[in-house]
Amino acid sequence: MVADVNWDEVVTRAIAEDVGAGDVTTEVLGIAKAPARAAIMAREDGVLFGIEAARHVYRKLDRRVIFKSVIDDGRKFSAGRAVARLSGPAGPILAGERVALNFIQRLSGIATATAAFVDRADNVTVKVLDTRKTTPGLRAAEKAAVRAGGGENHRFGLYDGIMIKDNHKRLCGGIGEAIRRAHANRRPHVPIFAEVETVQEAEEAAAAGADVIMLDNFDVDTARDACDVIGNRAVVEVSGGITLSNIAAYARSGVSRISVGALTHSARALDFAMEVEA
């Protein structure tokens, strides 16, 4: 499932949080109505995402502001390049500065990190996926940033896939029994993901009919052993401890999918600035 980003909803919350009743600095300086031009500048290289969020910021604040993207979302950019240009009253341009930059720097950081992992995996048949370790309220936007960086999305929520993890196994009495219950009670076409911690559990999950078997914190050699045991009975995914230095080895281990929580929970925000010309 791929959820569309409701930029109107996300941006409305962000403006309320930052702008509130108004920009008192611009008001007391008497420059709110002054005509101005501005550019959003990249201070480092990366993959862009968040331009549409920034555009929505200015649609919400004041439609007199003309916002023109120079580089589209999903494209690479280099330091020193303008990614967008604005013109209009200085008041709304300045009021939206931090909100627009927050979206662009955060989401571009995710897109850039994802592109790095995909590139380092160096295997077009292996999918690099995100997780549900996202910023509350920004999941759809952050997962869209992952797609912009060349990755793919895992579940969007608890509602679009059965994910049997360690706590479920304990309550059901084991991975095999949990999968059997899932088969007996699931809605049609809802996939069953089974997280396993040993090669023996991987065999049990495959025998019970899991659609996707997730190797949790397996080293590369053990992941290879699990792939041999599972064979073609299920899609094999590895997660936990995946870094830029080891993802290529995992991509060669026989797995089909590699999920990386760091794409969203640890991506570094990129450096952007708005430069205003009176």
Read off the tokens for 46.
């990366």
**DSSP structural state of residue 152:** B
Q: Is 216 a catalytic residue?
A: yes
Catalytic residue among 195, 201, 203, 237: 195
Residue 210 identity: A
Spatial contact of 71 and 51, defined as CB atoms under 8 Å apart: yes
**DSSP structural state of residue 21:** T
For tokens 């895992």, the residue is: 154
Q: Is 98 a catalytic residue?
A: yes
Catalytic residue among 119, 216, 219, 271: 216
Q: What three-state secondary structure class fits 100?
A: helix
Catalytic residue among 85, 98, 132, 180: 98
Q: Is 165 a catalytic residue?
A: yes
Residue 46 to residue 66: CA distance in whole angstroms: 25
Q: Is 133 a catalytic residue?
A: yes
* Sequence-separated (6 or more) residues with CB below 8 Å from residue 199: 222, 225, 226, 229
- φ and ψ at residue 102, rounded to 5 degrees: -60, -45
Catalytic residue among 81, 85, 132, 133: 133
* Sequence-separated (6 or more) residues with CB below 8 Å from residue 189: none
In this structure, how many other beta carbons lie within 10 angstroms of the beta carbon of residue 234? 22
Q: Is 76 a catalytic residue?
A: no
Task: List active site positions.
Answer: 98, 133, 165, 195, 216
